[in-house]
Amino acid sequence: MSPTIEPIADPSLSERQAWEMSKIDPQKDRAKHIVLAIIGAAGGTLDNKTNLYKAFYYAHLHFTQGTGEFLSAWPIVRMPRGPGIHNGGILLGELVASKHLRISQIRSGTHAAFRFCLTEKGRRAAAELTSEECEAISKAVAGVFGKTAGRVSDESHVVSKTWHDTENGKELAIYADLLTPDEYAATRARTKKAAEFFRRRHD
């Protein structure tokens, strides 16, 4: 049996306290529901943290493409292997503490990986999103499901133009990734020109 990973959360918290604390920040609660829905769209079990993080990123892009709106305002940041969930470890730890999620370690080829499994409580929470939100999330999961973490990471480097232009740990301007290469280059040139103009003004 795979060892269970300890939750990254205060062990003195009850299940209810751990879940209710997140609702102090509505966007944190929103991000958790999206994480649960991603795992739910994979059938209740998803392997590889990289796949989970990239599905979170893709879900936001698909939702904006389909509706013109935003799936959440939770930051997506640059990580060495591609776009990632801001404070993802904390979100996952709190979901474990609130008994919405189980995390175990598995072997994936020659590497260790994480397996994320919804509890019944997690399945109920994952079902609270709208049909449009679920559609975007399902598309995102289809793009990562069954793939190795390495392949998913490499593919995200192609999609995310902003990943190449952002420092590690900084928030990505992910919606710029929806621009064509020419549009993105033009936007970058205008931004650089404006930055140089203001720099000269203050020199």
pLDDT in tens, 95-112: 999 999 999 999 877 788
Measured CA to CA, the distance from residue 26 to residue 82 in angstroms comes to 26
Torsion of CA 94, 105, 152, 145, to 10 degrees: -90
Q: Which of 110-114, 134-138, 153-157 has the lowest mean pLDDT?
A: 110-114
115 bridge partner residues: 47, 104
- Average pLDDT over every residue of 147-152: 95
